[in-house]
């Protein structure tokens, strides 16, 4: 499942993404979403962790997808399987002679991963990032 964010990643984008994935998985009849992520500020912010906690409290009352998250130690890309896919995809997408425009990058990523282009996530800048 792939979504792009407008501008730079923000904690609000992460929370929106997790909510969207939860809805998609709930429609598929799944019970849990297990997220393993690095220590990027938009993954591990107080706002994201608070929203995850509130989401899971609500889910216990109303039903839906429980989100379980694990944070990888800082500076440990070998523990993150997505790094291997990212490295390969980057080789297939970039051009050595020039920098791609944002639109070209989006189109090539979607083509490489054979995924539909969904609306971009729009973040709300907050003090906690």
Q: Mean pLDDT of successive 10-residue segments in the chain (129 residues)?
A: 84 91 94 89 89 94 94 81 84 92 93 92 62
pLDDT at 129: 45
pLDDT at 48: 92
**3 in Cβ contact with 17 (< 8 Å):** yes
**124 in Cβ contact with 7 (< 8 Å):** no
The SS3 call for residue 69 is: strand
pLDDT at 10: 87
Boundaries of every domain in the chain: 11-113
**3 in Cβ contact with 110 (< 8 Å):** no
């Amino acid at each position: 499942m792939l979504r792009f964010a407008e501008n730079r990643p923000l904690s609000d984008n992460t929370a929106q993404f997790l909510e969207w994935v939860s809805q998609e998985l709930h429609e598929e009849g799944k019970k849990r979403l297990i997220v393993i992520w690095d220590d990027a500020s938009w993954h591990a912010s107080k706002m994201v962790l608070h929203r995850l906690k509130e989401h899971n409290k609500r889910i216990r009352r109303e039903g839906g997808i429980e989100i379980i998250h694990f944070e990888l130690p800082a500076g440990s890309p070998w523990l993150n399987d997505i790094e291997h896919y990212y490295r390969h995809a980057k080789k297939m997408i970039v051009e050595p002679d020039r920098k791609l425009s944002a639109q070209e990058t989006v189109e090539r990523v979607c083509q490489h991963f054979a995924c539909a282009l969904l609306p971009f996530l729009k973040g709300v800048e907050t003090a906690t990032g």
